[in-house]
Structure 1
Amino acid sequence: MRALLLTAAAFALSGSSEDRATVTRVDPLTVQDDDFARHRDPAEWRGLTVRRAEFTEERGHWRFWRIDNKAHPKGPLWFVPHDNENAGFEAALVSLRTYGGTLIAVDSGAAPGEDGVRLNHAVDYGKPVDPNRNFDSALPGYAAHMLASGNAPIIALHTNAPGFDPTDSHCNQGDPKGDGIISIRFCDDVLTPSPSQAHAWPFDDDDSVAFATYRAGKSPSDAFCRDAMVGADFNVVQERVLISDGSLSNYAILHGLRYLNFETQDRGLEPAALAGARDRLVWMIDHALALCAPGVKPIG
């Protein structure tokens, strides 16, 4: 694993002229971006270094924020791939200050007028790109840039739409129609649920889940932290991976990287709702790290 991450870091620094990133240090108090606009208190940025990075690979032009806890660089890699998943950014920023490490957040504003949306519209041709479906062996620069810090574990943070679409589910097909598949009530050949028995907060919400990813032919228990989270009564979605779908969860398991993915329902931008979603993610982070990464401790 160490060799892989060192290779990724080297690629990001010395790749071709097309895929080498342009990196600029920025003042977070002046960045014109919705995520930063919510954080104009200088105290929130004390000890953090913020850089804007941009690169082009194949048809896509990418911009992302790299935020480092300069006094505590050895913490996890916090990854927020979707610019519209605001509680994910909030939870990552809290956790970066708590545990150290590096935060990588994709900025959809690389395309004019598209800041704060899910997909990257800054493409030369074709459809917009999902930043969490671009971990492709044909596009090695993307993974190299996003994972260049070499930090572990990797912790991805997402929010999702309420409920799920039961059309393709093998269980709970009588549920009301929601969006997507992110729910502890959804199951198919790839995703199987291990639901919380007590349904205590934050798992009183079926859309608050932890993912545990494992290789096809193995057991769900082989997934990093799966047994510990099930034992602690998390909502755990067990994801079986045979061929990569381009997501970081698939990339991580196929490359032997320690990876956790936490999701909760998007409750909107009203401050109390945003804080509530953030706090659900932070709870999962804190408890999973205590269970499965005892070397990652709160700073101070």
Structure 2
Amino acid sequence: MKNENGYALLLVLVIITITFTFALSMSGMALSARKQVNKTDEINKATDLAEMGVAHYETVLNKIVKNTKWPSGTFDSKLQQSLPQESTISNTIDSNSYRITNVILKKVQDDKVIITFDSIGKTSAASKTLNGRITIEKKTNFKAGDSVPKPEDFYITENNYIDLKGGDKYISYPSATYFVKSIDIHGQRLLEVYGNAFFNSPINFFGTADILIHGDAIFRFKPEFNGNSYSFCVRGNTFYIENNKLKLYKPFPSGTNASCPAPFAEEWFINPDQGVDVQY
């Protein structure tokens, strides 16, 4: 009887020992899993922050590319001078942060500039660095035989009828513009486009009216001129539409544009779908 009691006590002790050991093991595994989850969560947060840095830098470059006017042929050197200091492309959000560093600009072709950089996202417990690459390309000008471009091929779509007269002296468009409705310009008034222009409706000149296009100009309807002192200055090529294709508009009735000013920078852009690449 005593032996049986001894065996029972031993069995209970063994069971308790096994249970306790298993519990300790499970507790250790749970703590380890918890730490791993926390570490993964912190890395994910740091990655999100680094992605925010990439988006911020893309926005800054887009603003520079679209809004700055430089003499033709100087884009890469002027852009290099205009790139913001790395310390200015940073942000702190609830003690977390992102920062852009190691910015390098390289001109790889006459119509392509590549900017590489690192975007570092940091939390209190983790850091993640993404390698960014943004390609800035020169917009290819049109050529005879091309299909008629669409409004989405231009940065700006002007849906309003333009009647430039009275107190209005000057209208300026900073990028390629698609004019949906007609344009009337009355004496000593100027409409200027820093890029290509598509005129989908008639244009009417009255008196000494001027239009200055720093890229190509495409006309669905040939302009109407009332007077001999007008100036229609196109720095690129001029086209009209025939059989839904572009055809060179020569001779173009440019008026008194012998003193057209020197062209500004060619039109450059960042393709939102293919121009930004990120290595994780």
> Normalising by structure 1, what TM-score?
0.21
Q: Which protein has the larger Cα radius of gyration, Structure 1 or Structure 2?
A: 2
Of Structure 1 and Structure 2, the greater strand share is in: 2
> Normalising by structure 2, what TM-score?
0.23
